[in-house]
Amino acid sequence: MTDVHIKKHLFLAAPRAKVWDYLTKADLVAQWFNLPNADFVLHQEFELTERDTGEILCWGSVCAMRPLEYMAWDFTVGPANGHMSRVEWHLSDHQSGTKLTLIHSGLPETPAGFDLLLALDKGWHGFLDTLYVASAPSDYHASISVPADAQAARAALFDQMPLWWSDRVEPAGNGFTIRFNNSHVTFAFDAKDPLVWHCTQAHMIIEDVADAGEWQNTRLIWQIQETPKGCDITLIHKGLNETLACLDVCTRGWQHFFETSLKAHLSGQEPAPQTHETP
């Protein structure tokens, strides 16, 4: 192989395990690259096709693999006329995310090959930009449709939390504190948009979650949209993603309190808020 190579570094907000999946699992690779015919497996050949036409654009085989750390391909593209090159992926931890290095070596040294080099460099730049977006942490985001109008939905959010969320809600100036047994969270309403709630303090007692304050500095973003049959309510919990150890527990919490309990409350059914015994 030649000494001509492309080298690119990318810092991603996702942990190495997630980035590795985006490099090796066919359905995730397809979100940022061309469409692979199978997962990337050591010593297995692969093809990558154009998503609209099905044309085979590039192909090769996985020649080395150390899970979560390194993968190498013998690789070529149509315009290379059979000239094989090497694509290497290096992964390492960086802060709370991942440093990803791509080295594409053994590229043509001839003047005619320079156009291919430029095309590959531009292509990798675009693909890695898409990988950056695709692998970014995904915040909790869900919507419900209810037969109530927007005014009733807003009233449920601001005035009726004890009926669908928790029976211990303490108004505090421009916000409130809500309690769940020995846990509590304090929110402040955004000065410009009251449907944005900033978590200013959190003490969430969750098994196997060391940091009880993970929710602090996250935001709840509520959206209410009128529909012919009532309204749609969307909740985005900005910051509740795989960077938080409580993601699974808290996602299930929202599935219960928002997707089920609030929906029932606004649909004339029986909600299921957190309740506490009276001291």
**CATH topology for 140-266?**
Alpha-D-Glucose-1,6-Bisphosphate; Chain A, domain 4 (3.30.530)
Same fold, 4-134 and 140-266: yes
pLDDT of residue 122: 97
For residue 173, the model assigns a pLDDT of 86
Q: What pLDDT, on the 0 to 100 scale, is given for residue 96?
A: 82
Q: Which fold has domain 4-134?
A: Alpha-D-Glucose-1,6-Bisphosphate; Chain A, domain 4 (3.30.530)
pLDDT for res 278: 66
Domains of the chain, by residue range, sit at 4-134, 140-266
Residue 74 near residue 65, CB atoms below 8 Å? no
Consecutive 10-residue averages of pLDDT for the chain (279 residues): 89 93 97 97 97 94 98 95 94 94 94 91 96 92 97 98 97 94 96 97 94 96 97 97 92 97 98 85
Question: What was the pLDDT predicted at 1?
Answer: 64
* pLDDT score at 137: 84
Predicted model pTM: 0.67
Structure tokens at 166: 């928790």
